[in-house]
Chains A and B, each alone.
Chain A
Amino acid sequence: MNLPFTITFEKRVADIPKWLPAATSIGSVIVAFIVSGVILKMIGGEPLRVAKFFYEATFGSWATFSDTIVKATPLIMVGLACAVAFKMKLWNIGAEGQFYIGAFAASLVVLIPMVSPDSPKVVVIGLMIIMGMLGGAIWGFFPGYLKARFQVNEIITTLMLNYIAVLWNNFWIFDRWSDAGFQMTPAFEKSAWLPRVTDYAREYGTFIDGGGGLANFMTSIGLERISGMTLHLGVAFGLVAAVVMWWIFDRSRWGYEIKLIGDNPKAARYAGLNITRNIVLVMMVSGALAGLAGMSEITGVVHRLQERISPGYGFTGIIVAWLAKLNPFAVIIVAILFGALIVAGREIQPSGLSQLLQGIILFMVISSDVLLRYKVRLVRAQAAVEAA
């Protein structure tokens, strides 16, 4: 080849600038969007119109933004679930199954029922949170235990457990709790619903009617009414979970242990850490977070247990965690972007497009990591010849 220059990779010796990881992540998302646009063009689509539609359907107004956040809510929790496992280099790709089992276990509270439907909301919801997290944790326990005890590859086991979880749920939905033969359980009592913004529409009405300073402010930002906004309390679970995970990762003894095992398990063993116990524990915490996401989804959005409660949140969570470089706060931001992708993806044809985009984004992100380890330089041909 007779290029006027050659590309060389030089190992970085100095510490990398702090802004570089974030810049490469953002850059790779942009490149991924461009590549997807090209593919869309190839199959006869109109990338620009799709992009405009994408924006309008996701961030265009407060109502659509609320939809985006609703979709981002489970992604935050699932993203955190993946992040904690990946931090220890445990490849939990079973968040999808843990999500389903979390939803199943939480609905037991209502479907058995474990408490009377007339109980206060706090009691019902509180118990559902515990059950949801417990369910997910149990589903994370199995692969964790098999990994710790028999060194069974967790990638395969978590993945197989995804299929099993969906089938398990289906049995109960179809066979035991079917609502008049439909593939869903009856709707939950209101006491098992997470509070939504729209629930307060009657009380607080529209801001514009109230008049005064608040009304002016709300009008100026375009938020004139809240009725119909489906944003629910689950997002708060996600935010709290993010803060907790940040504290664990950055400040706690356990977070240090997770990081040490993830970076060098042999060194961790040498330093006296109990790796077996930590593998099981991390898988359970990871499962609990995914289970919480499942609980939040059925109590905040669908209000019943049914088939296909997740459009692949568990898998998207993998990308969210990776794109966020396992940072809990970055997980929130990335989850919102992917929430938008899901919102828009429901309406954009063809249906695989958002999955394709996710795949390309992830590829771009991991490829861009090379920039963090190497300096890529263009060397003019003349210089290269001299060197040789």
Chain B
Amino acid sequence: MNFEIILHAGLATGTILLFAGIGEIFAERAGILNLGVEGMMLLGAMAGFSISLTTQNVWLGLVVAILAGGILSLAHGLVTIHFQADQVVSGLSLTFLGTGLALVFGKGLTGQTPPLIPSFDIPGLAAIPFIGPVFFANHSLLVYVGYFFAPLAWYYINRTRPGMHLRAVGEKPSAADTMGVNVYRLRYFYVFVGGCLAGLAGATISLAVSPGWYSDQTTSGQGWIAIGLVIFAQWNPLKAALGGYLFGALRRGILDLQGPALLFGLANPLYINSNFSFFLKMTPYILTILALVLGSRAAIKKRLGAPAALGVPYIRGERGL
């Protein structure tokens, strides 16, 4: 049990949830619920891994991963924005589609070693005691990008003109429409942005944080956890980032519980019988549920909620939102 290691790992794996969660926040703030995050992540992870392998260029792989997630999300955009289909069902089918595509195109990738996104220390900062090794040493470039990404996303949504339009489209599309904001175009755009970030999250797994291609085990439900995180974070990128890091750290901490023979002076049951680790592996999922319960209670209390038009297709001239 070493806190430095746990926090370091938390930042690394939390970055995956950070990208995917903020991507989903963009889509949902524009009024489109996209449950296909898991599928988009998996496709991104596969595409990035595969391109990096075949071209031996990890940057190209990264770009393709981002685009793969984005392009897949456009299918969801088309069906929900133009055909006004149910966003839940469409998102589910996007998960199937993404997973299917990733598995079909990903055959034979297991065990390969493509070039990866570089990890490095930040000169100077890495030397600070405790802080340095946790935050600024031996992290992938993408983890450092994540540090800036969340505040920038927050600033963009809350303090810029396009961010204001994004919020308007998700809260009251008719108001935006009458003022000449193109609701459809913005919704497509932010669904695409969400898809790109999910693809990036996938590449964060397969090319950086836990490199490799393990078919559908690559993401192992993290896309769904990211969606839960969005609700928990009340659609705020900063809270989503913190939640992601916290989640990553908890997960690592729990895994580390298996190591020592003694825990707080008592015999560690996990050390004696490794099968108890099945219960440990449940914890991320139980934590997600608990986070949602707590989050929703807070939301009810503070009357904070989802974007008002979330999940509602916009049709010009119809009453309501």
Contact = CB atoms under 8 A, between A and B. Distances in A.
B179 interface: no
B54 to A, nearest CB: 14
B75 A369 contact: no
Contacts of A174: 275, 278
Contact of B103 (A39, A146, A150, A352): A352
B285 A161 contact: yes
Given A156-B227, A362-B89, A369-B83, A167 B103 contact: no
A359 B96 contact: yes
Contacts, number: 144
Contacts of B296: 150-153
Interface in B75-114: 75, 78-79, 83-86, 88-90, 92-107
A326 to B, nearest CB: 11
Contacts of B85: 366-367, 369-370
A39 B97 CA distance: 12
Contacts of B97: 356, 359-360, 363
A27 to B, nearest CB: 15
B294 to A, nearest CB: 9
Identify the interface centre among B78, B100, B292: most chain A CB within 10 Å of its CB: B100
Interface in B250-292: 273, 275-276, 278-279, 281-282, 285-286, 288-289, 292
Contacts of B101: 39, 352, 356, 359
B273 to A, nearest CB: 7
Contact of A359 (B88, B98, B105): B98
A198 interface: no
Contacts of B146: none
Contact of A318 (B92, B98, B103, B273): B92
Contact of B231 (A156, A159, A358): A156
B104 A350 contact: yes
A345 to B, nearest CB: 11
A352 B79 contact: no
B282 A167 contact: yes
Nearest to B79: A367
A75 to B, nearest CB: 15
A373 interface: yes
Contact of A160 (B35, B83, B84, B286): B286
Interface string B221-238: 100110110010000000
Contact of B100 (A151, A153, A356, A366): A356
B184 to A, nearest CB: 13
A381 interface: no
Contact of A91 (B88, B90, B221, B278): B88
B146 to A, nearest CB: 23
Contacts of A267: none
Contact of B83 (A164, A319, A353, A366): A366
Nearest to B80: A366
B93 A164 contact: no
Contacts of A315: 96
A366 B89 contact: yes
A156 B289 contact: yes
Contacts of A322: 89
Interface of B is mostly: helix
B293 interface: yes
A25 B79 CA distance: 16
Identify the interface centre among B93, B273, B276: most chain A CB within 10 Å of its CB: B93
Contacts of B90: 363, 366
Interface string A349-388: 1111111111110110011011001000000000000000
A93 B96 CA distance: 13
Contacts of B221: 159-160, 163
Contacts of A363: 75, 79, 90, 93-94, 97
Contacts of A366: 79, 83, 85-86, 89-90, 93
Contacts of B275: 171, 174-175
Nearest to B99: A355
B279 A167 contact: yes
B79 A163 contact: no
Contacts of B228: 153, 156, 160
Contact of A362 (B93, B107, B225): B93
Contacts of B96: 315, 319, 355-356, 358-359, 362
A26 B311 CA distance: 27
B93 A352 contact: no
A138 B78 CA distance: 38
A157 interface: yes
A351 B88 contact: no
A355 B293 contact: no
A355 B97 CA distance: 7
A370 B85 CA distance: 7
Interface string B64-81: 000000000001001100
Nearest to B305: A151
A171 B99 contact: no
Interface string A36-75: 0001000100000000000000000000000000000000
25 contacts: A152-B296, A156-B228, A156-B231, A157-B292, A159-B224, A160-B224, A164-B286, A167-B278, A171-B279, A350-B103, A350-B107, A351-B103, A351-B107, A352-B100, A355-B99, A355-B100, A357-B100, A358-B96, A359-B93, A359-B94, A359-B97, A360-B97, A366-B89, A369-B85, A373-B84
Interface of A: 39, 43, 91, 93, 146, 150-153, 155-157, 159-161, 163-164, 167-168, 170-171, 174-175, 315, 318-319, 322, 349-360, 362-363, 366-367, 369-370, 373
Interface of B: 35, 39, 75, 78-79, 83-86, 88-90, 92-107, 221, 224-225, 227-228, 231, 273, 275-276, 278-279, 281-282, 285-286, 288-289, 292-293, 296-297, 300
Instruction: List 3 A-B pairs, minimum CB-CB distance, nearest first.
Output: A352-B103, A356-B100, A359-B96
